[in-house]
């Protein structure tokens, strides 16, 4: 029996949305090779987009001289994606619940909520500058 070895792919991009879209497409191409279901692909697309947008907008403050580092590995059972920005980090517990009545009109917090809903696991580094997401292929 042949075993497929996971290769961690690493990409560093400038803090801009065009570069982020290229990374997102590379990850989606990779999960496509492993036959991920449409709901899983949709979940990964949405979570990666939100995560990269947060890293660029909130972490690196749209400063294109700062980089966003992405690592991902995929096999037939799961994809693991890590995104690290050069910002000062944050505490995800300090982000207000976007579904609370007093926050419904506020634009912040929705990306984190969507990442948690669509991925099987979302974990932050202690300083909040790195997030690791996992989605299992179902």
Encoded tokens for 62: 């749209």
We report the CATH number of the domain holding residue 81 as 3.30.565.10
- N- to C-terminal Cα distance for the chain? 23
Domains held by the chain: number: 1
Q: Give yes or no for a contact between 54 and 111, defined as CB atoms under 8 angstroms apart.
A: yes
Is the pTM value of this prediction over 0.85?
yes
Domain residues for the domain of 130 are: 9-136
pLDDT, tens only, 125-137: 999 999 999 999 9
Report residue 92's pLDDT band, with 50, 70 and 90 as the boundaries: confident
**36-41, long-range: CB within 8 Å, 24+ apart, which pairs?**
36/79, 36/137, 37/137, 37/138, 39/138, 40/135, 40/136, 40/137, 40/138
d(CA 106, CA 98): 7
Q: Would 53 be classed as within a structural domain?
A: yes
């Amino acid at each position: 029996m042949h075993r497929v070895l996971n290769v961690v792919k690493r990409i560093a991009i400038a803090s801009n949305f065009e570069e982020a879209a290229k990374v997102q497409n590379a990850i989606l191409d990779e999960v496509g090779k492993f036959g991920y279901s449409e709901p899983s692909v949709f979940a990964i697309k949405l979570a990666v987009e939100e995560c990269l947008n947060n890293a660029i907008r909130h972490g690196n403050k749209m400063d294109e001289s700062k980089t966003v580092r992405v690592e991902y590995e995929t096999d037939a059972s799961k994809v693991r994606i890590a995104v690290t920005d050069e910002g000062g980090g944050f505490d995800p517990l300090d982000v207000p619940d976007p579904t609370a009545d007093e926050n419904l009109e506020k634009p912040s917090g929705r990306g984190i909520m969507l990442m948690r809903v669509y991925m099987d696991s979302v974990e932050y580094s202690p300083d909040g500058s790195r997030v690791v997401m996992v989605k299992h292929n179902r």
